[in-house]
Amino acid sequence: MVQKTSTDKGSIIFQTKAIDDKIYIKEQKGFYQSIRRYLSVALMMLFIVTPFIQYQGKQAILFDVEAQHLKVFSYYFYPQDLLIFTFVFIIAAFALFYVASKYGRIWCGFACPQTVWTLMFLWIENRIEGNRQQRIKLDKSKISIEKCAKKLGKHGMWLTVSLITALVFMSYFVPAEQIYIEFFTLNTTSIVTGWVWFFALCTYVNASWVREKMCQHMCPYARFQSVMFSDATSTVTYDIERGESRGPRKLNREKPQELGDCVDCNLCVQVCPVGIDIRDGLQYDCINCGLCIDACDQTMSKFSYAKGLIRFASETEQHSDSKAKYGYMALLLICVGFMANWLNNRSEFEVSVLKDRNALYRVNGLGEVENSYQLKILNKSDAKGHFKLSYQGLEGFRIESKKTLIVAPQQISNYTVTLIAPLGFKGKFETFDFVLQDESEEDKLLVTQSTFHSL
């Protein structure tokens, strides 16, 4: 049994399948499958090669967990720069909304990692166990040496790919030039080894067992993408007027008058990675992969019918009247503008001040009131920072601290600083600013506010 429930919401059919239904996907060639293959290879290469890109003799993109920063070429992002991640996620979300409003779940069908890895695992399965019919036969057959060898070979290959995937993923966190050598010579720390096997297991389970169930039952994008769907959204659609009534017929014979163009060959169902029949109408499970288009075009060509019985089309067949997509594009551009501006004005140094919590103030041997502070300076750059410390907002005070405050590259330095009020100072509570002036660039100032307490 495939369908348990089926309800109509707008024009999208919501269906639920039995979780344990196994889908035997037929390998399909064609225009959309070629795009999927080439795109998958390109994305995978990008994923593998990126950690090997070098910048000034070091890994260009590295999430250094120990140092708590993300390095992207010359930029170092710290937890203090959390805003950049907010921008990145918002931009990614609006880009996805824009694409979804125009082409439905095209991201799912062509570029989602779940799709890319599943495609690779299916390719391996086809090479080892054979085509769809051979796989069904193998699964139904009794246990034999051949069956065991094929199953072991397939799962062995899947595990190998999963392990390589996990190592590549970890090379974004541990320098790429060291993780491969250390892992295969058993020299990685237990934490790194644990994470590698954890990610390998996740990849294996996801791309070999879970597959389309992730898209149908777990991925939140599948649930809310129908909100972005409009009459102008281009999705994979079966031309019901042209196709019905469906029915088989003989090749090279005139088409029976009572029949439409659908020859009921069932190929569109056999190639579908989520196991649906697009002829039942637009369904939220459909990931817009276009495989049923390739399959149907192949059948249409065989019968010398015009291609496009299944095709990308919108309900109105107009592709530009959705106001939502312009809204998403505008929001996307605004966010990109904000992010560019924020990046441009982002300082490579940050300073914070903490007042001594043990005593609000002290009176020294000369009778002067003094307050102590901890200055914390973060250097996000590749160069050493040298700063002179001064203050503004108070008159006649003096500072006791090191003459030059030095911060090593990508380090945080702590300095204890004392501010001393002039004799006879009458204030009780004053606000003022600490000013750090970069010795190499006079106009580069770091300012942070604090307070001075007195008797």
Positions in the binding site for ligand SF4 (CB under 6 A): 109, 236, 238, 243, 246, 262-268, 271-274, 276, 278-279, 286-292, 295-296, 299, 309-310
Q: How far is the CB of 306 from ligand SF4 (least distance, A)?
A: 12
Phi-psi region of 281 (alpha: psi -120 to 50; beta: other; left: phi over 0): left
Which residue type does 278 have? I
Structure tokens at 189: 């720390």
Euclidean distance between CA atoms 332 and 147, whole angstroms = 52
* DSSP-assigned letters across all residues of 249-312: --TTSPPPTT--S-----HHHHT-TT---GGG--BTT-----HHHHHHHHHHHHTTPPS-SEEE
Cβ-based nearer residue to ligand SF4, 170 or 296: 296
Cβ-based nearer residue to ligand SF4, 298 or 410: 298
Cβ-based nearer residue to ligand SF4, 266 or 410: 266
Cβ-based nearer residue to ligand SF4, 298 or 454: 298
Question: Which residues on adjacent β-strands are paired with residue 448?
Answer: 434
Which residue type does 391 have? Y
Cβ-based nearer residue to ligand SF4, 161 or 207: 207
Q: How far is the CB of 7 from ligand SF4 (least distance, A)?
A: 18
With contact defined as beta carbons under 8 Å apart, do 353 and 412 qualify? no
Going by C-alpha positions, the residue among 195, 217, 192, 222 that lies closest to residue 206 is: 217
Cis amide prior to 40 (ω within 30 degrees):
no
Q: How far is the CB of 296 from ligand SF4 (least distance, A)?
A: 3
Q: How far is the CB of 4 from ligand SF4 (least distance, A)?
A: 19
> Alpha-carbon torsion 167, 168, 171, 176, what sign?
positive
* Alpha carbon separation from 190 to 66, 176, 187, 226 (Å, rounded): 15, 17, 9, 44
Structure tokens at 229: 């769907």
Q: How far is the CB of 238 from ligand SF4 (least distance, A)?
A: 6
Cβ-based nearer residue to ligand SF4, 313 or 329: 313
Q: How far is the CB of 384 from ligand SF4 (least distance, A)?
A: 56
Cβ-based nearer residue to ligand SF4, 301 or 392: 301
Q: How far is the CB of 211 from ligand SF4 (least distance, A)?
A: 12
Q: How far is the CB of 244 from ligand SF4 (least distance, A)?
A: 10
Euclidean distance between CA atoms 379 and 385, whole angstroms = 7
Cβ-based nearer residue to ligand SF4, 33 or 101: 33
Residue with tokens 């006791």: 400
Based on DSSP, count helices (H) and strands (E) in the chain, helices before strands: 14, 18
Euclidean distance between CA atoms 403 and 94, whole angstroms = 49
